[in-house]
């Protein structure tokens, strides 16, 4: 940050935009009479000093957090005016107007007097929205905040309203020091108890400072009564004020942890509890989490005491590093790296008050972070996807006194975004196949023969001294041949234990037989042990006889990558009922052939066993089997791709989809095109249209290179490529690809097929985007006729076509016909989908717009109220429609009211089209 940055917001604003700076000064000047009326005798308020200090706090937060570049001059102008006006109602009214809360009345005054205050009406709307919620308690503040547009169009630059509202409220919360007390006639003897405690707290608090991610309020109480008052103030702020802004501040990369530094009264020792932050409400980043997906073995871990001791010593060294105290295990799989990390996490979890977090570095990290956040309740799960990730990342980067484990790291760059900031000192553990720079390695040696034998006996459930000499001899030979690799010993012991009557002599013979086979050692780093490992990991046919489906499970997981797979996907791939998987999965887990996620019903094959079976069960030699699996994987994802509600499950399995796309490509299958296409849906659902476009385009390119033909798939690809072109604003190409998809569906399915109707809808939409409304109507009418003839007059898809025809009439200016078709669609949706269905909400929204344009405000208001009860808060139009509801309510008794053109254009474009998502079946 520059050293010459002014210390006051408006002074800085003048250096960036002279006009806005002078206008902000003028706003404060015009507001002076109102500000002068905000202080009174025997009041805890010094109105003018308070709003001035809030403006100063705003600038300190921005400047001292080094976030100036995040704010435009218009942002700063709005913040200055908001600081000035947020408490206007304290100077305007002795009692708040009926039905208004503090802040709302101030906002109403701005809107009614914008000319006198010499600002434009849109600017006053922006200020009104953020000051109207500044005094609300945390839950109400968050609810109202989500209804404010994150970006509000103002002049040529949008302003970040949500961020501005959070900064204003934070600055207001932080002004609780002695400068807030009115300097005239204060007599505490006539105050009630609560007012007196508030006064004593403010007398004691001297100000605040920023220290890394913390905001520290300093207090110096002079009497026990003042000390008690400060403690009460602290408790109130931490419980009833700070939770409103903490999560957002963290997401915006501002200091977000509030802490009190309270000096003891003269003659008393310092109260340590005064220094501790107090946790907020139900959702808080401070919530404890223990996220380790595997159980501990405890005393079952043999030969690793020294490594655990060294790990503990290394992590608790007094000296710090740039990324906290660190340690890593590296080496070939099977040494027990992951298990040792598990044991450490369980053994020392009580030494980490901020929790233990486990991340599988060889899998998609973002879905894991979202699941961890939901389990720990760091942020409400209905929050925006990106905000959840920002909060989790901030939690990882800024918290000390926690343990973070990155398991199976391939490249350090993949996990560097989650490394702690210099001010934080968590403990980090990495497991990897190769050394990682910056992490002190801990060597994991092969087990010696004595410990190997002990481990083998424990895993096999036998007692060495109680078995015959020849069995003892065979056991010793087995562990000798296994070469001290823990995984191999555990699997061998588990096999014998499960078989019951299988002797050591027989097992040793099996190993000797395997040694004579053709499987060579493939794993580097353990010359002399590779063949033994491969043969140990081969699964006996006798196991499959007890659970035949286990072999199919292993085959699928062998080629499904390193991610856990859920039973829903697995049962569909194997074409079996879910309950049929219970026994083979239990057996596979007991034999340690499979690993089960501790928190979910999801399974993976151990990576070493996967390598062995890939050599044994070669994909290219089983192409017919691979083709069938690709088809079932594609069907599972395609059945879930369009519904946003399926997105969490879809994303959880996305690594499986990507792996089978690779498999399909490796065998030259046409399924590769389909499996690549399906990867675009999560991107579209999150609005990442360019990346979705690239995937669909690549999938179509792969299809066109293939000698195989699948016209249904080709139509899907063309259709969705057209849709992504439209989402990116290229309407000429949108039309071109929709027309190609329509031609295929007409040729393959016939002119009257419902999927053909879908393509007709899409072509109509493209013509509408290009402004050719006559053709738009023509195609929508053709689609409607097919729906009525093939599906019936009351089918929900017919309602979609009616909706689109109405939309086209609206483009042509025939609002009577537009309304007629919308009303028909609403009747069908209410009768067949119910009054709470999202499609019913869409019809309500459409008719609301028409009634508003016809100045039927009472009818519009009734429908809009119904709509807002149905629509989720995450809906893109929710915030705008809240504002629209207010406009309609206030104008319902006025003639000549016109809804602002910008809102109507937004609604006309977005509200009635119901595009939703990439469509290959229907268009709403």
- The whole-number pLDDT of residue 771 equals 92
Model pTM score: 0.49
* CA nearest to 365, candidates 647, 652, 691: 652
How many Å apart are CA 456 and CA 474, to the nearest integer?
Answer: 12
Nearest residue to 57 (alpha-carbon basis) of 111, 129, 161, 134: 134
Q: Which of 713, 709, 610, 718 is nearest to 659 (CA)?
A: 610
**Res 500: pLDDT:** 63
871 near 841, Cβ under 8 Å?
Answer: yes
Q: What is the DSSP string of 838-890?
A: HHHHHHHHHHHHHHHHTT-HHHHHHHHHHHHHHS-TTSTTHHHHHHHHHHHHH
Mean pLDDT rounded to a whole number for the chain: 80
Residue-wise pLDDT for 129-181, tens only, equals 999 998 898 888 988 888 888 888 775 678 888 999 999 999 999 988 766 66
Predicted local confidence at residue 147, as pLDDT: 83
DSSP β-bridge partners for residue 409: 432
Question: Which segment of 48-62, 615-629, 812-826, 863-877 scores lowest on mean pLDDT?
Answer: 863-877
What's the mean pLDDT in 498-502? 67
pLDDT recorded at residue 557:
95
pLDDT tens digits, one per residue of 85-100:
888 888 787 778 877 8
Kindly report the three-state secondary structure assignment for every residue of 789-847.
HHHCCCCHHHHHHHHHHHHHHHHCCCHHHHHHHHHHHHHHHHHHCCCCCHHHHHHHHHH
Q: Is 510 left (phi over 0), alpha (psi -120 to 50) or beta?
A: alpha
Q: Are 330 and 441 in contact (CB under 8 A)?
A: yes
3-state secondary structure of 719: helix
Is the pLDDT confidence value at 318 over 60?
no
Q: What is the pLDDT of residues 1-42, one digit of tens each?
A: 445 788 889 999 999 889 889 989 999 888 888 887 765 443
Compute the average pLDDT of residues 40-62.
76
* Mean pLDDT, range 691-711, rounded to an integer: 92
Query: What CA–CA distances, in Å, run from 367 to 570, 648, 899?
Result: 19, 8, 42
Using the 8-state DSSP alphabet, how is residue 407 labeled?
Answer: E
Measure the CA–CA gap between 361 and 2, rounded to whole angstroms. 39
CA atoms within 13 A on the CB side of 477: 15
CA dihedral in degrees (658, 659, 665, 670; nearest 10)?
Answer: -60
Q: How far apart are alpha carbons 269 and 180 in whole angstroms? A: 28
Element (H, E) at 430: strand 427-432
Residue 548 has pLDDT above 60, yes or no: yes
Q: Is the dihedral of CA 491, 497, 499, 503 positive or negative?
A: positive
Give strand ranges (E) for 36-186.
152-154, 157-159
Mean of the pLDDT values across residues 856-870? 80
Residue 300 pLDDT? 55
Q: What pLDDT, on the 0 to 100 scale, is given for residue 46?
A: 65
Rg (the chain; Cα; Å): 34
**How far apart are the C-alpha atoms of 813 and 807, rounded to whole Å?**
10
Nearest of 319, 270, 286, 146 to residue 213 by alpha carbon: 286
For the residues 592-617, what does the mean pLDDT come to? 79
Contact 786, 756 (CB under 8 A): yes
Arithmetic mean of pLDDT, 819-831: 91
pLDDT on residue 890: 56
Within 13 Å and on the Cβ side, how many CA atoms surround 752?
5
Per-residue pLDDT for 886 more than 70?
no
Where do runs of H (alpha helix) occur along 37-115?
Answer: 47-64, 73-85, 88-92, 104-112
Q: What is the pLDDT of residues 180-222, one digit of tens each?
A: 665 444 555 666 777 778 888 888 888 888 888 889 888 888 8
- Judged against a pLDDT cut of 50, whether residue 665 lies above it is answered with yes
What pLDDT, on the 0 to 100 scale, is given for residue 324? 54
From edge to edge, which strands make up the β-sheet containing 565-566?
565-566, 602-605, 594-596
Among 63-67, 653-657, 703-707, 918-922, which is the least confidently predicted range? 918-922
Banded pLDDT at 766 (limits 50, 70, 90): very high
Instruction: Give backbone dihedrals phi and psi of 679, rounded to 5 degrees, phi first.
Output: -70, -10
* Kind of pairing between the strands at 325-330 and 427-432: parallel
- Of 84-98, 334-348, 797-811, 901-915, the one with minimum mean pLDDT is 901-915
For the ranges 398-407, 729-738, 878-887, the lowest mean pLDDT is seen at: 878-887
Tokens of 473: 């001899």
**Does 667 have pLDDT greater than 90?**
yes
Task: Show the tokens assigned to 559.
Answer: 């080629």
How far apart, in whole angstroms, are the C-alpha atoms of residue 233 and residue 225?
12
Query: Is the per-residue pLDDT at 436 higher than 80?
Result: no
**Rounded Cα–Cα distance for residues 376 and 380 (Å):** 10
Label residue 676 by pLDDT band (50, 70, 90): very high
For 191-242, where are the E strands, in sequence order? 205-211, 214-219
- Contact between residue 629 and residue 535 where contact means Cβ atoms under 8 Å apart: no
The DSSP secondary-structure symbol of 911 reads I
């Amino acid at each position: 940050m520059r050293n010459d940055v002014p210390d006051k917001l408006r002074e800085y604003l003048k250096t960036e935009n002279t006009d806005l700076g002078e206008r902000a000064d003028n706003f404060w000047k015009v507001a002076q009479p109102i500000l002068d009326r905000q202080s009174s005798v025997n009041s805890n308020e010094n109105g003018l000093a308070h709003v001035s200090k809030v403006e100063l706090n705003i600038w300190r937060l921005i400047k001292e957090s080094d976030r100036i570049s995040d704010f435009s001059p218009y942002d700063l102008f709005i913040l200055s005016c908001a600081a000035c006006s947020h408490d206007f109602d304290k100077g305007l009214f002795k009692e708040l107007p009926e039905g208004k809360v503090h802040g709302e009345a101030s906002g109403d005054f701005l809107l009614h007097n914008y000319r006198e205050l010499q600002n434009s009406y849109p600017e006053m709307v922006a200020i009104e929205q953020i000051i109207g919620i500044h005094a609300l308690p945390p839950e109400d503040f968050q609810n109202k905040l989500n209804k404010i547009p994150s970006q509000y169009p103002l002049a040529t630059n949008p302003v970040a309203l949500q961020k501005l509202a959070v900064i204003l409220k934070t600055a207001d919360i932080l002004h609780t020091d002695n400068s807030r007390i009115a300097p005239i006639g204060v007599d505490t003897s006539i105050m009630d108890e609560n007012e007196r405690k508030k006064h004593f707290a403010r007398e004691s608090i001297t100000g605040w400072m920023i220290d890394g991610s913390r905001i520290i309020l300093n207090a110096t109480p002079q009497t026990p009564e003042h000390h008690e008052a400060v403690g009460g103030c602290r408790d109130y702020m931490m419980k009833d004020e700070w939770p409103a802004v903490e999560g957002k501040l963290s997401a915006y990369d501002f200091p977000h942890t509030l802490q009190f530094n309270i000096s003891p009264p003269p003659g008393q020792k310092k109260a340590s509890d005064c220094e501790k932050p107090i946790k907020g409400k139900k959702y808080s980043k401070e919530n404890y989490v223990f996220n380790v997906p595997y159980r501990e073995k405890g005393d079952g871990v043999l030969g690793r005491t020294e490594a655990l001791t060294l790990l503990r010593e290394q992590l608790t060294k007094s000296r710090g590093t740039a990324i906290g105290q660190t340690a890593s295990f590296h080496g070939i799989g099977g040494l027990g790296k992951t298990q040792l990390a598990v044991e450490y996490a369980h053994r020392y979890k009580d030494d980490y008050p901020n929790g233990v977090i486990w991340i599988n570095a060889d899998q998609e990290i973002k879905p894991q972070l979202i699941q961890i956040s939901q389990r720990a309740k760091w942020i409400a799960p209905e929050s925006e996807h990106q905000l959840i990730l920002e909060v989790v990342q901030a939690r990882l980067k800024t918290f000390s006194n926690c343990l973070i484990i990155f398991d199976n790291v391939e490249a350090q760059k993949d996990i560097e975004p989650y490394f702690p900031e210099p001010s934080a000192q968590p403990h980090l553990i990495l497991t990897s196949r190769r050394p990682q720079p910056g992490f002190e390695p801990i060597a994991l040696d092969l087990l010696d023969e004595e410990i190997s034998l002990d481990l083998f006996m424990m895993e096999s459930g036998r007692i060495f001294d109680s078995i015959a000499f020849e069995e003892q001899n065979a056991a010793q030979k087995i562990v000798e041949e296994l070469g001290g690799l823990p995984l191999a010993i555990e699997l061998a012991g588990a096999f014998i234990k499960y078989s019951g009557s299988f002797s050591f002599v027989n097992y040793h013979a099996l190993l000797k037989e395997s040694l004579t086979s053709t499987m060579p050692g493939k794993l580097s780093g353990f010359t002399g042990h590779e063949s033994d490992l491969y043969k140990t990991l081969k699964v006996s046919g006798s196991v499959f006889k007890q659970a035949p489906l286990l072999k199919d499970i292993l085959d699928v997981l062998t080629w499904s990558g390193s991610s856990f797979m859920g039973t829903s996907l697995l049962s569909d791939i194997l074409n079996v009922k879910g309950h049929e998987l219970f026994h083979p999965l239990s057996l596979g887990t007991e034999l340690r052939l499979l690993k089960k996620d501790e928190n979910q019903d999801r399974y993976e094959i151990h990576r070493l066993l996967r390598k062995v079976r890939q050599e044994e069960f070669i994909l290219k030699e089983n192409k017919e089997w691979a083709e069938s699996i690709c088809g079932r994987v594609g069907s599972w994802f395609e059945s879930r791709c369009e519904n946003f509600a399926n997105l969490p499950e879809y994303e959880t399995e996305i690594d499986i989809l990507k792996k089978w796309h690779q498999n399909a490509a490796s065998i030259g299958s046409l399924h590769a095109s389909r499996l690549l296409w399906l990867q675009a849906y999560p991107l579209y659902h999150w609005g990442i249209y360019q990346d979705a476009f690239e995937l669909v385009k690549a999938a179509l390119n792969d299809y066109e290179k293939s000698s195989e033909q699948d016209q249904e798939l080709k139509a899907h690809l063309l259709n969705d490529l057209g849709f992504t072109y439209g989402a990116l604003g290229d309407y000429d190409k949108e039309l071109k690809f929709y027309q190609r998809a329509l031609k295929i569906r007409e040729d393959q399915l016939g002119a009257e097929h419902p999927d053909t109707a879908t393509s007709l809808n899409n072509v109509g939409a493209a013509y509408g985007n290009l402004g050719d409304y006559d053709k738009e109507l023509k195609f929508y009418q053709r689609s409607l006729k097919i729906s009525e003839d093939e599906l019936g007059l009351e089918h929900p898809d017919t309602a979609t076509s009616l909706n689109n025809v109405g939309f086209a009439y609206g483009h042509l200016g025939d609002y009577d016909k537009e309304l007629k078709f919308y009303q028909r669609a609403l009747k069908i949706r209410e009768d067949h989908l119910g009054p709470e269905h999202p499609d019913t909400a869409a019809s309500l929204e459409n008719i609301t717009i028409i009634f508003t344009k016809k100045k039927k405000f009472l009818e519009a208001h009734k429908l809009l109220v119904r709509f807002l009860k149905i629509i989720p808060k995450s809906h893109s139009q929710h915030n705008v429609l809240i504002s629209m509801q207010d406009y309609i309510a206030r104008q319902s008794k006025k003639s000549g009211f016109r809804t602002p053109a910008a809102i109507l254009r937004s609604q006309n474009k977005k509200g009635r089209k119901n595009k939703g998502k990439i469509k290959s079946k229907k268009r709403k």
